[in-house]
Amino acid sequence: MAGIKVFGHPASTATRRVLIALHEKDLDFELVHVELKDGEHKKEPFLSRNPFGKVPAFEDGDFKLFESRAITQYIAHEYADKGNQLLSPGSKNMAILAMGMEIEAHEFDSVASKLGWEQIFKNFFGLTTDQAVVKEEEVKLGKVLDNYEARLGESKYLASDHFTLVDLHHIPVIQYLLGTPTKKLFEERPHVSAWVADITSRPSSQKILL
């Protein structure tokens, strides 16, 4: 049996999103390293796996996917009976989950990723952090986190009283931001701070750190 393969890079936030989900489900898998600095993701054979040239790509036997959040959802549904529950039963609960995933994708990630890029990844390429951008994006992130603070005052996790894909999708970018001055935005909001500590201390979150 061919099994599960993830084609990605262990430092990539999108790859980590998928790896965390696999660990939550106690699934065996192989991480096939794609060397980003050599542009491997922009060439064949990787492009046949993802024509958009981004990691990760995914295989479960002969079933192939890309887009990290489609992959995590596939894992959560296909392996619903294994490991930790990542979904919520019932169509209204699933709708709340879907909404939470959209908020992460459209409101949180766009801002948080820019902050990660400016403060961490740019340095790998010998570029300088633009503090004006950091300041501007931190204001936006603050507003999103204000919404999260209110939400987390009502339930332990973003979409439910148990950990779900909505919380999981946030972990990789948050882990990077905790190594930057931006971490103060999490620390100064008590419910958000407790939630961040909780989700980043899960065994699956720890397993993917280098």
Is residue 69 close enough to count as binding another protein by CB under 8 A?
yes
Nearer to another protein, 68 or 205 (CB): 68
Residue 156, exposed/middle/buried by CB under 10 A (0-12, 13-18, 19+)? middle
Nearer to another protein, 166 or 199 (CB): 166
Smallest gap from Cβ 208 to another protein, in A, equals: 21
Among 153, 68, 150, smallest CA distance to 109 is for 68
H, E, C per residue of 50-111: CCCCCCCEEEECCEEEECHHHHHHHHHHHCCCCCCCCCCCCHHHHHHHHHHHHHHHHHHHHH
Nearer to another protein, 96 or 134 (CB): 96
Is residue 103 close enough to count as binding another protein by CB under 8 A?
yes
Q: How far apart are CA 2 and CA 91, in angstroms?
A: 33
Backbone angles phi, psi at 30, to 5 degrees: -115, 130
Is residue 74 close enough to count as binding another protein by CB under 8 A?
yes
Q: How far apart are CA 182 and CA 142, in angstroms?
A: 10
Is residue 99 close enough to count as binding another protein by CB under 8 A?
yes
Q: Which stretch binds another protein (CB under 8 A): 26-34, 66-74, 189-197, 198-206?
A: 66-74
Q: Which of 67, 130, 136, 138 binds another protein (CB under 8 A)?
A: 67
Q: Which two tokens stand for residue 36?
A: 């980003």
Smallest gap from Cβ 24 to another protein, in A, equals: 17
Per rule CB under 8 A, count of chain residues that contact another protein: 28
- Interface with another protein in residues 134-193 (CB under 8 A): 147, 150
The angle formed by the CA atoms of residues 12, 14 and 20, to the nearest 5 degrees, is: 95
Chain residues binding another protein by CB under 8 A are: 51-52, 63, 65-67, 69-71, 73-74, 77-78, 91-92, 94-96, 98-99, 101-103, 105-107, 147, 150
